[in-house]
Structure 1
């Protein structure tokens, strides 16, 4: 009896000891258990040489196979750092989700024509009753004409009332245009004049349109043709939805708001897939993408007294060049280098790089620029777009072949490289994943996606003519 009681007590103590031992070494046990129970990684998993990206939203890049959070499209495998070809003039492209746009307060503004003038302040001295002489360099007097209005105030006194004046005869510049000249001015009221020898500040407003190269730009919109729309209908929530006739927005089913065109606005039709395809007639179709009907958009023309302008908050100036981010799609922004004129208050006149109707990031441009710089696949093209000088230039390494070539046979690879683009959409082969292969009338044709096969089968002669050396036999 005593032995049984002792054995029971020992078993009880052994169970307690085992429980405490398991609790004390639980971390070690769980580590070994996870090693034994975890699944082996798939062969198509992560590699240090590859990455996954979304062809529709190039800013979405990841290390794991998944779906795009913007368009829910399956990400495509490519070699790390192998960025898709961007349109000419675009340095980088960034895609942001709607939540990040809202979080960063990103807002866009249209590029349009405005009446801008630059304020020029010159030092001067009173030479007699109602007479002022200002000192200026020839470049400061560009666009200044005799009789132009000016303001004269005591030097250093910004609180006093400015006296109105008129510009006298503008002196011609010297041959070297480097020497200062004297500009005479006449006060409109000699009774409010200054004593001879008083130092004054002269302020002139110079219209930007009178400065080159803006003075040489055309400033007359085309005449309205018979039957051309005088009104345009747009969605208040989605500015990209524009129609020439009344209707509803396909995105939120709200009624489109009509507005009359301004004197410098006209309606033109274009293809969103191929922006270079435009027309002045409604119902026109794009031959480059299989007969897609062109959509209307608003085009602005320059009127006398105006120049193309953008908000100063939209410009990112890194010291070597000026950049703006243009909205090319929902949440998608393209970095473009622009040439600007002198700053005029809160705006810059645009010399080149933008077109009327473009929408630039006017609020939150610094956020979009920072996201672009931090993205490794985009930063390479961003920082390497121009030679900043200094240092020895290294010979470029030979570019590796595209990742999608590995999925093709050795016989098809040279044919795909020779074709380069899809004959239906014009996009580079591989931009939508592994190209599709068709045999049309005994010829090998590569397309960017399966959706293009029906267009080629419907009109093979049209698209075979677009393929370089289309006589290649399979």
Structure 2
């Protein structure tokens, strides 16, 4: 037994210390191996890059392989890579496409260009339309209510105090004619005035003409008679009634009130036996042959409203009827609460369909050619003189027409078009129920689909009157910041251009700038072409 060992076999202090050091050493080696392994895994690509950098022969020239394809994310077109992989945003596998030809320089007015094969054009349903001049109108729909024509209202009042002895009109709503009796009033004041007039008449008859100075007495009596007649007129007695009193010589204690206008009794204020004072209202009479519409026009639309303008009016009470009116007055004050201006429209109402208080909708038509800047552009257009013009058509396919003498028929495979003189007019198609729906081609009204299948009706209009340059609504892509139209310059090549347009009307936009007559724009499939230009463009700004 050594001196360091204890008799009972327990480890000495130094043995314990050595054992602890061995255990720690083993564990430290294990932790170090784990750290080195993790470092190699995490920086393997960097280590290999450094390895390739320092092991590459220095005498070999650098070479760059240029590929004709690139990889992009269909969901995020801005993600473009030279090698295949996944999108870092959405994780979608990148799609392959040919690289854009970056050397192509487009004119400054072209935002982008895309080229499609005939197969892809047919697959996308792309159709083009020709930009042309077209009669276009701006339609402003404004609400309003029917009101009495203030020029045809009459309030019938008692011109003398008395008692209502009889009412010839006993209820509101009675139709009366001008001169019809409405009521009879008993008045002592009337009785004394009539007695005075009759006494003067009798005095004139009793004057003996042989007495000297009788002419002067007759003149005095006549002046008194004129004064009495005036007082009776002030009391509401007509000349015919006064003459009847003088002929009969009988005293009348009742005055008959007659209607001064033809119309409808809208209010009755009295009953039989009621006492009334001078000036008390008895009846209100209104002539409804002409009524007013008080329309509420928003202040941004008031610039289009002119006195004398024709207005088409409809009401839910008669959905199939339209009423005609004329703008008669435009108020000078804007309502602070609704930001609208009252516009008075005179409406003929001979059939009495329109009732005061009824809600109406006015459709105000404003030709676009009368609004700036289209008015100035229309005045600069060269006018067409004469009543006819020459067009060229195909005898085999009469629907194929052109304004050019050297044009050929595309359906015949090259047959030359022949001339034909026609009247300088064109046909447009309008919905009879919705006059704001206008089309250059026959078809159905979009607004009538909900309740009927209404065909657009042809209408012949002058070929130059009220026309502005228009583009179909379906050809315009509104990005919020700008409006873009695709023009087919060559077969299968579409250029994106920015255009300035007016307010949409009837499926068309009036063109301010950016397009000219006979430009071929994409009227169907424009959004598909725009998407293609973003995914696989020839050039895009």
TM-score normalised by the chain length of structure 2: 0.43
When normalised by structure 1's length, the TM-score is 0.49
Higher strand residue share? 2
Structure with more relative contact order (C-alpha pairs < 8 Å, separation 6 or more)? 2
